[in-house]
Amino acid sequence: MGSSFTDFLGVTAPDLLPGRRPIPQLPMGDIPHGTTIVSVTYDGGVLMGGDRRATMGNLISSRDIEKVYPADSYSVIGIAGAAGIAIEMVRLYQVELEHYEKIEGLTLSLDGKANRLAAMIRGNLGAAMQGLAVVPLFAGFDLDAAPGTSPGRIFSYDITGGNYEERGYAAVGSGSLFAKNSLKKTWRNGLPADAAVRTVVESLYDAADDDSATGGPDPVRRLYPIVYRVDGEGAVRLTDAEVAAVADGIVTDRAQADRENMNREA
C-alpha cells in the first residue's frame, strides 16, 4: 500500500481517520481546547514550548495537558485547537513517520514531514468547519541543511492545510498574539541554547499574563511549560527542574521590577 500509513488506513479502515468520521449536524457544546505553542530557532537547532492549560468555554478543563510531542527523532509537533482530535492526529502522525521509515528504509526529509502533516490537516477540514479545528506548529532539525544555513526550521499551518515556513520564531493558539510580541523583543538570530529557552518560557509567561486560556507557571502544583530542544543529537525534552529554574527566575525578575516601579511611584 506504499509508504503512507494514512493512505493505508484510508483504504482499509477510513472510519479510524479523525477527518473521516461523521460530523454532528447540530451545534456542539464546549469541548476542551489547547493553547498556546511557541517555537524559536537558536544556534544549533530549534526549541518548542507549550503551556499546560486546556479550556472548555470559560472553564479550565485541564491544568496539566501536554501539547508538545516528539514527531520522530529529529522533529517535534505542538498542538492548538480541539484537544481530543489534535492528540489523535499527533499519534497518527507519529505512526505515519515511523511507517515511512520502515517501508523506505530511510528518514523522510524535513520538508517531506511538513508536507505530510499538511495533508493530514487538510483531511480534517470538514471537522474544522464545524468548530473542531486543529492548528499545529511543527519544527525540526534539518539533517540536509546546507552549510552556513540554520538547521533549525519551523512550519506553521492553517485549517485548510496551508504550510508556511517561519523565520526565527512562531506561535499559535489563543495567546499567540501576545507570545509573538514577546518573541519579537527577545529573540535574535544566533541565540545560544540557554538564552533561547528563556525566550520561549518568557513568551509563554507574557501570553498567560494577557490571555486567560493560556496557563502560566504554577509553582504550587509544580506545573511548568513543556519545552523540547531539537539539535544534531535529536529531540530531547527539558526536565521539569530545568524549566522550573528558568520560569522561577523570570517570576523573580518581574516581581523585582514591579517593586521598583511601585517604590518610584511612592
The tally of CA atoms less than 13 A away on the side-chain side of residue 28 is 15
Task: Please list the active-site residues.
Answer: 35
What is the distance of C-alpha 208 from the center of its chain?
Answer: 16
Calpha distance 190→228 (Å, rounded) = 18
- Residues 6+ away with beta carbon under 8 Å from 160: 121, 122, 125
